[in-house]
Amino acid sequence: MTALRYDVNLSILFTELPLLQRPAAAAACGFDAVEMWWPFDGPVPADSELDALAGALDDAGVSLVGLNFDAGHMPSGDRGLLSSRSTSRRFRDNIDVTVGFAERMGCRVLNALYGNTSDDTEHDLALENLALAVTAARPIGATVVIEALNSHENTRYPLTSSKAALEVVDQVPGTAFLADFYHLARMGEDLPALIASSAGRFGHVQIADVPGRGQPGTGELDYAELLTLLAASPYDGPVGLEYKPVGPSADSFGWLEDMP
């Protein structure tokens, strides 16, 4: 069994601070790796915005291990751009920017949220856009991952189980499954069984406790067991902390002392 490596999602942790101050805050808490959702307002930010974020990451000495493609305006309920005719162009405009920034920062996991069901949803279009993302990501050695979300909070998102997400992965070579234990547990999945059957297909893992999405130890999941199983599995990537901290972010990491 190997020790797991943990990273902090700066889009949900350290939000007490402006984005460009969060990498240093994560480093001050002992982390050397971070991930984030698409952090810009549109698909093609100005070079100065990209430079500022790269500088903040470099100055803090943290590596970027996961990055979302543009997923729309998530505070308003958007959950991706892949599957809709009305948003497909925005996704395609974002591909080269995301891959270019990932190459610059050494990031090798790129998350493409599928998109909410709408009047113009087309599954074949989603697969086509995923294939375009894979083609762009392959030369830098990056993997495009597909995520299932829970339907309690994401009522129009169609991929709500590991089975549904893995079916998409099966249709697009070069993709992998983003196993978000919080979303999967909210949908009643047997996480130990999933780790046993499918950890070799995980492209990334994210965690939070259930039902409140707080840090492990604030809810129902036995993370000591789950992470021990994960550490003994074929999965060898980082574990993203993607939770809403109960209290200040910097005070929310004590549970890690008892984890593999």
Selecting among 147, 153, 167, 257, the annotated active-site residue is 147
Q: How far is Cα 104 from Cα 97, in angstroms, rounded to an integer?
A: 11
Do 84 and 115 touch, CB atoms closer than 8 A?
yes
To the query of whether residue 49 is one of the catalytic residues in this protein, the response is no
Nearest to 187 by CA among 224, 215, 225, 159: 159
Which residue of the set 103, 128, 189, 242 is catalytic?
242
242 is annotated as an active-site residue: yes
Give the separation between CA 42 and CA 103, rounded to whole angstroms.
19
d(Cα 29, Cα 25) in Å, to the nearest integer?
7
C-alpha closest to that of 186 among 170, 206, 167: 206
d(CA 32, CA 94): 27
Secondary structure element (H or E) that encloses residue 26, with its range: helix 22-28
**Catalytic sites, residue numbers:** 147, 242
